[in-house]
Structure 1
Amino acid sequence: MKSYVLALDLEGTLISNAMSQIPWPGLAGFLNRCAELFPRIVMFTPLSRKNGSGRSRAYWWTRASPPPWFAEVEYITWQGETKNLRFVPGVHPHQVLPVDDFEKYVHLGQEAQWLQIEHFDHPYSSADTGLANMLNTLAARI
């Protein structure tokens, strides 16, 4: 089995957005299953580890209740208009699988790596299956 790095987006992918910060239903289970499937998980988001749009990360952290190991997840600092997978240290871009809801952030030439998740948006349903669907996609990909 080929070893990939999973690069997760935050807004619209794991939570609604930086303002409302509503977690997807089943987020903790999703993250734990990802940790079983991938030896390395990184966050590829413009929001810093410490804050997002002036609000404390603790706010979404409390609402989302991610697994304890997620507190140590690596954040990838990026610049420019796209999420160039070359910013992930120690691996070649073809070893990174970015999960993101927004095609605009996919770097030119890296489209084959991108796994599009549906955008988590209003109305927020507790029956939403977006993360479960993505787990199926990830399992099939690796």
Structure 2
Amino acid sequence: MNSNKLKSSYEFSIAPNSVLALDLEGTLISNAMSQIPRPNLHPFLTNCKQAFQRIVIFTAINEERFRKIAILLSDEGAAPEWFKDLEYINWSGEHKDLNFIPNSNMSRTILVDDRVEYIQPSQIDYWLYIPEFAPPYPGADNELNLLWEKLLKRHSDLMK
């Protein structure tokens, strides 16, 4: 498989009322300072947009900082144009509580994050782990491909 392509042999349609909540730092990019996009970010996001009714950003950085990073990633072609307009979830406290996502059904929501300590313990079943994208930032990082395969399994469950 070409490392620049995200594989998918699965035909899918948008799962009704589904929400995909994505962390930013360590998940989609390195961090808010270096802003290195994870390999395969653009095709990963494109596939997610085709499978989930709603995609939201659920990150510890503030919205203004997220918007600047999202614009940069979109302008550089590392992320789709629509990425800069993603819904941003404001939250507070120690955990990313899915109840912060307005007009969503928790049972139809998936949270992707690299840090278990941010996950509300009672909502661990709605979390998908991705290893942190950290130095030395391997160009051969295949984690978004692996995550996509996990998301396809969850997507299939949402379609039932």
TM-score norm. by structure 1 comes to: 0.90
Map of 1:88-103 to 2, 5 A cutoff? 88-103=101-116
Aligned to 1:106: 119
Gaps of 5+ in 1: none
Aligned to 1:20: 34
Aligned to 1:123: 136
Give the secondary structure class of the aligned counterpart of 2:83: helix
Query: Within 2, Cα distance between the matches of 1:37 and 1:3?
Result: 11
Counterpart contact for 1:27–1:64, Cα < 8 Å: no
Gaps of 5+ in 2: 1-14, 156-160
Amino acid in structure 2 at the alignment position of 1:85 = L
Give the secondary structure class of the aligned counterpart of 2:131: coil
**CA drift at 1:62:** 4.6
Amino acid in structure 2 at the alignment position of 1:8 = L
Give the secondary structure class of the aligned counterpart of 2:60: coil
Runs of 4+ residues deviating >6 angstroms: none
**CA drift at 1:72:** 1.4
Counterpart contact for 1:23–1:63, Cα < 8 Å: no
Map of 1:41-120 to 2, 5 A cutoff? 41-51=55-65, 56-57=68-69, 58-62=71-75, 65-120=78-133
Counterpart contact for 1:44–1:77, Cα < 8 Å: yes
Query: Residues 12, 64 of structure 1: CA spacing in aligned structure 2 closer, same or farther, 3 A cutoff?
Result: farther
Aligned to 1:33: 47
Cα deviations across residues 77-105 of structure 1 (Å, max 9, x unaligned)?
00000000000001122221000000000
**CA drift at 1:48:** 2.4
Query: Within 1, Cα distance between the matches of 2:33 and 2:150?
Result: 28
Q: Confirm or deny that 1:138 pairs with 2:151.
A: yes
Counterpart contact for 1:8–1:44, Cα < 8 Å: yes
**CA drift at 1:64:** 6.2
Counterpart contact for 2:49–2:55, Cα < 8 Å: yes
Equivalenced residue count is 140
Query: Within 1, Cα distance between the matches of 2:76 and 2:23?
Result: 17
Give the secondary structure class of the aligned counterpart of 2:117: helix
* Identical positions, percent: 42
